Amino acid sequence: MESQEEKPIIYTMENKPIVTCAGDQGLFTSLYTPLAQQLPREPMEWRRTYGRAPKMIHLEANFVQFKEELLPKEGNKALLTFPFLHIYWTDCCDTEAYKGSVKEDMMRWQNSLRAHGSADWVIVVVETNDAKKKNKTNILPRSSIVDKIRNDFCNKQNDRCVVLSDPLKDSSRSQESWSSFLLKLRTLLLMSFTKNLGRFEDDMRTLREKRTQPGWSFCEYFMVQEELAFVFEMLQQFEDALVQYDELDALFTQYVLNFGAGDGANWLGSFCAPVRSWSGLLLRRPIDMEKRDGIQRGEASLLDLRSYLFSRQCTLLIFLQRPWEVTQRALELLHNCVQELHLLEVSVLEGALDCWVFLSCLEVLHRIEGCCDQAQLAANCSHTVGLWAYATDKLKSLGELCGLVSDKGPTSEDLNRTVDLLAGLGDERPETVNSLQSPYKKLKEALSSVEAFERHYLELSHAAMEMYRAISRLRSARLVGKSLAEFYMRKGDPERAEGFLQEALRSYVSEGWSLPVTNTRIQIAECQKLLGRTEDYLQTSALLAGDVNLTNEERKHFCQEILTFASKSTDKCQKVTLSMGAFAQLTRLQFHPATASVHSGAALQVELSLRCLMPVSVCMQQLAASIHFSLEHGGTHGRSKGAQRLTNQGTVDFSQGNSSVGPPFSSAAGPSLELDEIQDRSPSDNSLNSTGMVCKNTHLVMRRHDSSSSPETPNCVSPPAVVVDDGAQMLKVRDITLEPGNNSIVFTAPSGDPGTYTMRQLCATVGQVQFVLPHIYPSVQYEVYSQEPQLTVEPLSEPLLAGLPQMVKFTLLTGHYAVKKGDALQLSNTETMPILPSTSCTASIRNPAAEVIGESLLSIQSSEKVTSISLPPTPPYHTLEFQLEVLCVIPSGSDRPANERLTNGEVRHRPRSYSHPNTPMTAIDQRMSIDCPWSIYSTLLALTFYIPFKTKHSLLSAGNRKYIQVCVQNVSDVNFQLAEVKLTEKQHASLELQSLNTKAQQLVCTRQSVFCLWEVRWKADLPSCLQCIFSANFSPLNQDISAFKPFHYHFQLERVTTLYSVRADILPAAGEQHCRSGTLCGLEMCITRLTEPGEGELGEESKVETDGLKTTKLMYEVADSSSNWAVCGKSSGMVSMPMSANATHKVQIEVMPLFAGHLPFPKIKVLKYLPHTAAPAIQPDPDSCVENDTLSLLDKTLDDQGDTASIRSRGSVHSVGSGEQQQRGLAMPRLEPFSPGQVFNHSHARQVLVLPATDDHIMEVNTT
């Protein structure tokens, strides 16, 4: 703009409230300077009417000599010339002088005030010591003069007479007098302001309320309210002054709007006069008196009124240091003025309004630059950029109007119009004559020549664009750029225009503005055609041909442009590649068959649904889809791609966007993710180890884009050429016609080599033009597989039960192998699972669609080692199914627990195949080896059978008599029948097992048990070890006798002979017939040896005494776990028993019954005590070692030991020593329980009668 020295000086009004001074003018003149300086120093609180907030103001005054002409006349509403206060100055201290002249002068002064209705006055009496010295004889006390004045003039207003003592001296008395006087003067001034302004506001309000009456004039009211604004400005209350102008602005705007609505006021006629001058705003003067006079006379035009009103608002806003609000209000003013001129139907020369707006915009910008530095302007360009853009737009309109944009230059008519417009500007204002860059000079220079106009227009346009970019308003910047493009097109420079149009197009496409996209593309097509850029022009024409915003004729025009070029006969190298998104859209793809997975050589069809966007039919020479082939390595490398897309019923739907904007992938968010599944499979059995996701277009997703533009899409610029390799595998269809709308095309897909085929591109050839879809998304694949033959065996029903015939299903997936006549499966026979012969075994053949296409009778031949199954001829990729009956033999071994102790003391663990977490049945894995004709290797298949029974045994004793009990538990879900239950002993023929079972057949329901019992009888000595075999026949319920299958269970019993008998008896206390609770009783226990010692027993337990008698040590313990008895004294001990038949040892113990009734005998335990010199029967398990050296572990019952075979009891050894000593390797004495049946307790189930304790009570009864 202009230089620093040319900046205008901000004008401040010098008006101050008028205060008249009468009386001694010489006295006032001597006091004027200190009075004018000290009056505004202290602020005063101004309390206004109507509840308005109080304000602190500094009062100033314009002291003038009193003249009667200054007093307001009736009807005069000017506040600036209104005297708010009248002061009479006197220093009279002589009585004669006061009576002779001063009093009469005061009388005339007051009569004048009273005649004009002025009641705001004050009399100031100045007291000086010099006056006293001159007239000492006639001097009265000062109080006497003041009293006379008050009596004569201030009867009821004594405060209107003020004394000022020695005002020119520097003393405390003088300062105090000045302070009192100034306070009184400020108070009187404020009172006058409040009263007169209130009266003025009431009059103004009354005048405004008469605005509906005929004859009311807005210009008259404007001058009245502006007078109030001047007063506020005079008091430096700029905010209140601005409110007055805003109210006038709003009132006038409302009248204009009412006029537009048909409710016009008569006074508006003066503002409807044709506009003769359009010189723009004038903001370099605080008050434009020329326009104000026009308003006062009622001769101002609408632009004059608006210009003057805004100039006053601008001045006040700058006083308030709010320059950025000026720009905002200016932009609103300029737009509103254009609309108001249309509403009032004001006649304006064409282009005059553009001149006025252009000059006003630059004037406001100059005014703001004059009160702000460059740093502030740069930081607040968001407030000024709107004015720059508006000025640019109006200058462009003027250039088009005056022929300055055309490449031919202005005509004579344009020159005449330019002269008329310049004439309406008038002469340049004096404030800007010396400025080289004033708005007046700029406009005049811009309209003078084409070159000057272009320079100024480009300067303004680039400045506006830079400001918009600086504040990140890219849309507005691109809009200015599009205007520039239109300018360049008019100037015949399409190369520069295209860049701005492409940038605007990117913005419209990213934000989805359909119609602007269409219009901008039309302009771009015009540029590209002029520049001879054929490929880009054809791409844009294709987009416009499919744009629904255009008429059908316009679309046909652009489509014909493409077809005309395509029909040209040129070389193949001259072919043009365009984006298919503008030509046609892929909507659906469907596979036949729907699985999209076929074996090698099978037929597969792909049906494409294309929606043609062209307005006419288009004949295509070829439609081709390129295919990428990838070989599957699932069986070799253990990795295979997932087939999630193959489970969608063979149909892939492609989402579509708005055709006028483009495909859905053209959004500003970037390309969509293309995800695929990756599976990691085991090389051995092809089982799934892990799975994951991989992004196939990472190079597109992770690509960095320019922040100022959206990603390149076919909607903005032409896509790069895509070369389709004719040598690659492709789906092709020739000579087809695409009709407008939906079309269906069927391809035959290649399926020769096994692998995965991915459709990558789609290319439509129309003469010399190729429409290419560079990437099909979502990814579309189909699979061609070459499968190895697979043989599987599975049960027909779950679970497979061992011991019963079960049907299993053989399934052969032939894969690429064709089963020929004579091919057979060779099954190796095993003793544990024989294949049962069958005369009617039928095999069914199914095609890949699971439809049965044939059945054949199988030929099965069995030998000692091999079972041969002849297979019927079966084509490749078919399924062959047949069923065989097999039998798994139940093992006859003992059903031992999982952790069983072996003879060496180690823990024996069953194989994992025998434990199953989901069923209580014991599992047996049976493996079979099958030789197949298509492989040189044998195929191993496994079947899992479950034993339906759990069997356990126990040895029972009754004195010397022995019984064997076998428990059979049905753990399956099938009910069985048991028949021919037998128990035999295979080593001792003299031993007799007498059955005590009465039923020949017994029902065993699911989860139920059956107990069988035999008594053991012998003639000579009872063997110490028995080898038993339990056998039975079983079958499912309601089966005939031929369905019974054998079941055997082998077990062994050791140490079955009864060695000791224990008898006990409880004797009551002396003199009692029965035991009583709480009374000591005697427990007599008798231990008797029943047999002679055996050989093994002599070696392990015997001890030779001094007299040659062989003895053994026993440990006994009496305990009662049910808390019926209290053992008094010693409850356990050791006895030395002779190892001879009928040897007896008696022990007496005192016990006390705790309850009355039939109480069971206390429990008596007898254990073997092995000295430290005796070797243990087996190596003790560290887990069973005793943790302490006391005998309390004897509380552990013998029932906790095993109840099946005596071999288990041999492994449970108790030690009396501590675990720490055993760890050190020291041999310690230990306890060992007897095996079940070696000790028989005759008192095990006996009871004794216990009477309640006798209790005598004395009761005293008083009778009267």
| pLDDT at position 1204 | 33
| pLDDT at position 380 | 83
Q: Check if the beta carbon of residue 746 is closer than 8 Å to that of residue 591.
A: no
Q: What would the mean pLDDT of 461-476 be, rounded to a whole number?
A: 90
pLDDT tens digit sequence for 360-372: 999 999 888 888 8
The tokens for 894 are 């003992």
How far is C-alpha 533 from the geometric centre of its chain's CA atoms?
Answer: 47
How far is 365 from 630, CA to CA, in rounded Å? 68
| pLDDT at position 390 | 92
pLDDT tens digit sequence for 1066-1117: 999 888 888 999 899 999 999 998 888 876 666 555 555 646 678 888 898 9
Task: Evaluate if residue 771 carries a pLDDT over 70.
Answer: yes
| pLDDT at position 595 | 85
Q: How far is residue 801 from each of residues 810, 947, 1150, 1246, measured CA to CA in Å?
A: 18, 6, 59, 47
pTM: 0.57
| pLDDT at position 703 | 59
pLDDT tens digit sequence for 255-277: 888 888 888 788 888 888 888 88
How far is 1261 from 970, CA to CA, in rounded Å? 72
Report the relative pairing of strands 938-947 and 800-801 from DSSP bridges: parallel
How far is 947 from 920, CA to CA, in rounded Å? 10
Q: Which of 1173, 997, 1207, 1194 is nearest to 1099 (CA)?
A: 1173
State the average pLDDT for the chain: 80
pLDDT tens digit sequence for 53-76: 888 888 888 888 888 878 877 766
| pLDDT at position 1129 | 82
| pLDDT at position 900 | 40
Q: What would the mean pLDDT of 924-947 be, rounded to a whole number?
A: 88
| pLDDT at position 389 | 93
11-20, 539-548, 757-766, 930-939: least confidently modelled range: 11-20
Looking at per-residue confidence, does 139 or 620 come out higher?
620
Q: What would the mean pLDDT of 325-341 be, rounded to a whole number?
A: 91
How far is 700 from 98, CA to CA, in rounded Å? 106
Task: Evaluate if residue 705 carries a pLDDT over 60.
Answer: no
pLDDT tens digit sequence for 796-819: 888 888 888 888 999 999 888 888
DSSP 953: E
pLDDT bucket at 713, cuts 50 / 70 / 90: very low
pLDDT bucket at 251, cuts 50 / 70 / 90: very high
pLDDT bucket at 512, cuts 50 / 70 / 90: confident
Q: Measured over all CA atoms, what is the biggest interatomic distance in the chain, rounded to whole angstroms? A: 181
| pLDDT at position 461 | 92
pLDDT tens digit sequence for 967-1014: 999 998 889 999 989 999 888 877 888 888 888 888 899 889 999 999
Q: Which of 263, 275, 265 is nearest to 338 (CA)?
A: 275
DSSP 1045: E
pLDDT tens digit sequence for 562-577: 999 888 866 555 788 8
Query: Where does residue 76 rank: exposed (0-12), middle (13-18), buried (19+ CB within 10 A)?
Result: exposed
How far is 94 from 148, CA to CA, in rounded Å? 12
Looking at per-residue confidence, does 412 or 1181 come out higher?
412
Q: According to the 3-state scheme, what is the secondary structure of 84-116?
A: EEEEEEECCCEHHHHHHHHHHHHHHHHHHHHHC
pLDDT bucket at 49, cuts 50 / 70 / 90: confident
pLDDT bucket at 656, cuts 50 / 70 / 90: low
Task: Evaluate if residue 793 carries a pLDDT over 70.
Answer: yes
Task: Evaluate if residue 549 carries a pLDDT over 70.
Answer: yes
